[in-house]
Amino acid sequence: MGIEKMKMPQLGESVTEGTISKWLVSPGDQVNKYDPIAEVNTDKVNAEVPSSFTGTIKELIAEEGDTLEVGEFICSIEVEGGGSAEEAPAQQDPVSDSAPQEEKTEAKKPVKKAEKGEGKVRFSPAVLRLSQEHDIDLDQVEGSGREGRITRKDLQKLIDSGNIPKAGDAKASAPAKEEPKQAPVVEAPAPAAAAPAKASAAPNVPVMPGDIEIPVTGIRKAIASNMLRSKHEAPHAWTMMEIDATNLVDYRSKIKGEFKQREGYNLTFFAFFVKAVAQALKEFPMINSMWAGDKIIQKKDINISIAVATDDALFVPVIKNADEKTIKGIAREITELAGKVRSGKLKSEDMQGGTFTVNNTGSFGSVQSMGIINYPQAAILQVESIVKRPVVMDNGMIAVRDMVNLCMSLDHRVLDGLVCGRFLQRVKEIIENISKENTSIY
């Protein structure tokens, strides 16, 4: 018999840490390889962590609510014929096998809080960000983590207590009194090339009798961080185009009943717009680009991010290679992805690789809006509500038509008004010419 240790896996691109939200096993439980053993929250997704071994759970090293960096140990498992904990198999290491050996060795070491004279102190990105947001001098903080490492829970307790150490103060430790557990704070990690900007102090908002205090959840914190970064870094410009969707409305009305009966899901207006956008992106590839500091990356694949909201959060799953899919295929993916979001089954890979975002703001009656770009993409398109309006026709007559506004926010570092105008004109042309003769659902 031997003991193997499970590590916090990397659950998405740029994810550096995860929070154990719920253990699905207890010490003494028998598990098979790939059995789920824990639920983990990150800034991008909620996911189940599978066991890497078949054996008996020996110890739960991390507790529910603990936030650990990728590669830190979360539990130990007793296995037949296994080695010691120090001899864990290479495939357990979350660092890619293609990485240099020096990087792998470094990734396996616990982050140790350096003492005076030991050299540069290493902290997790979340600890650095939280300390900068609240002006905390980390040299004055006593860590409760392994080998004195400062954890985000240490900083959160200091913030909650109001005992924030400044430069020159005596070392402070987190209050001994256990605070009531709150939802874990999860923040999107900033790329190494860009240091996080120091946030302004939180406003002092008086709480009056009858007011309701709502804790900021991890996903809401991540949304706030990403939106703030997008607005600070990307110079947003905005344009809107009015489209006559009467042909689309008539065509869909004629086929939606038969489609639902045949396929088992709805044929929505949104599927037509996503397909039109994907086709226009193929013809105007510059729109399908991202800002990368000293260069602009024009993406080959057309992966459409769609915004799906729940009561308290916003998720952006991705329709991969949307230009290669039919309207039926896009409608099915929209239905499946929205279902995953609302049932809590969305996976990390479902939200990766997006190159352009289309937001169905019309679903709740909006007729005009200005979206914040889904960083680091170059633009976002809001599809507004289709409404009947009187329109002056080419022959001078007034007719009631089904009209819709398309509102586009763009990163002016990457895109200019001319190419965006032509892109929207192409989407307009596709939508206005939808008909049984011109448009194939399948």
CA distances from 95 to 82, 107, 412 (A): 21, 7, 36
CA distances from 402 to 327, 386, 399 (A): 21, 6, 10
Nearest residue to 43 (alpha-carbon basis) of 181, 225, 305: 225
CA distance 234 to 225: 14
CA distance 315 to 4: 35
The answer to whether 420 and 408 are in contact (CB under 8 A) is yes
CA distances from 158 to 42, 131, 172, 180 (A): 23, 11, 8, 14
| Three-state secondary-structure class, residue 19 | strand
CA distances from 333 to 112, 119, 275, 322 (A): 45, 51, 12, 10
Catalytic hit among 135, 169, 312, 416: 416
Cα angle 436, 406, 230; round to 5: 135
Nearest residue to 218 (alpha-carbon basis) of 39, 74, 83: 39
416 tagged catalytic: yes
412 tagged catalytic: yes
| DSSP-assigned beta bridge partners for residue 442 | none
Q: Which residues are catalytic?
A: 412, 416
